[in-house]
Structure 1
Amino acid sequence: MISAVRIPDSQVAREAAELVRQHESEMLFNHSVRVFLFGAMKGIRQNLKFDSELLYVAALFHDLGLADAYHTETKRFEVDGADAARAFLKSHGIPEPKADLVWEAIALHTTPGIPQYMRPEIALTNAGVLVDVVGIGYDDYTPEQRAQVITDFPRGDFKNEFIEVQTCSALKKPLTTFGTVNFDYIEHRDLTFHKPNACTRIRNTPWLT
């Protein structure tokens, strides 16, 4: 129990954690569990009804697309992680609607302005990511809550390590970053790199007007 949040301990939850641990660094794994904890705390605070196990799996898998074993050449890393989570859940007999819900939570976790209006598991995954990565909602948690979470799942040199992992992933498949926050990682590393301009792309279509 961490601040009234119980980390799921079902067979599915344990096997999900074991799989993710095999492929992620300690930094990413700890981040993923913090995402669950902060998301669940917010859900409890707002009296939301959510499936704790599905939220946990979504949080665990949300960055798995950054791992080499789940990297694809043409998909956003979020979709790689979402695909892995859905396949894992379906292989464990989880009904398709629940597996699809987790897919959506992971695929949308970096999309601004939309997840917070969707089902609780989607909104809370996004909220957990936002507070742990960029500090949005930081003051909604008590100092005691924040301290307990990072004591059990330390941040270490999170800021630098996380930016490095995200940048390496983005540089491997830059075309997947256009129109997403993931382009920022490339631009941060190489200021001469420019993404396609939307207006230019519209004007260069084969349509006459």
Structure 2
Amino acid sequence: MTLNINGIRIPDSLMTRQATELVRDCESDLLFHHSSRVYYWAALAGQQRKLQVDHELLYIGCMFHDMGLTAHHCSCDKRFEVDGANAARDFLQQHHIDQADITKVWTAIALHTTPGIPEFMDPVIALVTAGVEMDVLGINYDGYDADKRDAVVAVHPRSPQFKEDIINTFYQGIKDRPQTTFGNVKADVIADKEPAFVRGNFCSIIRGSQWPA
């Protein structure tokens, strides 16, 4: 079902249709609907902020942002954000997208769990993070009218226990590469699921380096 809300809809092009099919095939229902909602929150945030954005690129960024959590796109040694960014890059290259635009999408996905930075960058980068923050963390929840929230969720539903389900999905996607969570918010996920988990420590790395002082 295609949703048109405030004039925002999924761009109808061969590239976006193929992206939808690819993500649908690779991701669980939970991640697919989450990523779809992220696009609408991101696009609506763009309207709120009066930003001009390429909606095709925004859609690709939103839809691919969690692809690194899937078995199909897990490198098993890189941050899942980088795996997702690389998957989007490869997809966009197949569609002969300009390198500068590919870089925007790659950066948007790579930085979507690094708060406080994307908001100052290109609208594609800023809005992917805004969409993720709305759907996962509820940031700016009241900034979206209730009828718009309800319309998006009606088409792309949240599971009855979405909060716990998304945490568990994050965990399943990163538990075998805990070293990749150093310095980003996903360390909290492993700590939540594994009480014995020892986080990497920035100060310990400084003190333990080979420098004599």
How does 1:54-69 map onto structure 2 within 5 Å?
A: 54-69=57-72
CA contact (8 A) 2:34 2:156 kept: yes
AA matched with 2:71: D
Please give the secondary structure, in 2, of the residue aligned with 1:164: helix
The Cα shift of 1:178 comes to 0.9
Deviations 1:5-34 (A, max 9, x none): 111110000000000000001110011011
Partner of 1:167: 171
Structure 1 residue 27 corresponds to structure 2 residue 30: yes
Structure 1 residue 138 corresponds to structure 2 residue 136: no
- TM-score norm. by structure 1 comes to 0.98
The Cα shift of 1:164 comes to 0.8
Of residues 115, 118, 123 in structure 2, which corresponds to 1:115? 118
The Cα shift of 1:117 comes to 0.4
The Cα shift of 1:204 comes to 1.2
The Cα shift of 1:200 comes to 1.7
Please give the secondary structure, in 1, of the residue aligned with 2:57: helix
Structure 1 residue 197 corresponds to structure 2 residue 201: yes
Partner of 1:85: 88
Greater alpha carbon shift after TM alignment, 1-10 vs 72-81? 1-10
CA distance in 2, matches of 1:138, 1:63: 21
CA contact (8 A) 1:35 1:125 kept: yes
Structure 1 residue 13 corresponds to structure 2 residue 16: yes
Moved over 6 A (4+): none
Partner of 2:52: 49
Matched-pair identity in %:
46
What runs of 5+ residues in structure 2 fail to find an aligned partner?
Answer: none
Deviations 1:109-138 (A, max 9, x none): 110110000010100000000000010110
Structure 1 residue 75 corresponds to structure 2 residue 78: yes
CA distance in 2, matches of 1:38, 1:169: 24
Partner of 1:183: 187
CA contact (8 A) 2:134 2:140 kept: yes
Please give the secondary structure, in 1, of the residue aligned with 2:175: helix
Deviations 1:23-48 (A, max 9, x none): 00111001101111001011112211
Q: How many residues align?
A: 209
CA contact (8 A) 1:86 1:102 kept: yes
RMSD: 0.9
CA distance in 2, matches of 1:37, 1:111: 21
CA contact (8 A) 2:109 2:128 kept: yes
Structure 1 residue 103 corresponds to structure 2 residue 106: yes
CA distance in 1, matches of 2:130, 2:186: 18
The Cα shift of 1:196 comes to 2.3
CA distance in 2, matches of 1:127, 1:158: 19
What runs of 5+ residues in structure 1 fail to find an aligned partner?
Answer: none
CA contact (8 A) 1:170 1:183 kept: no
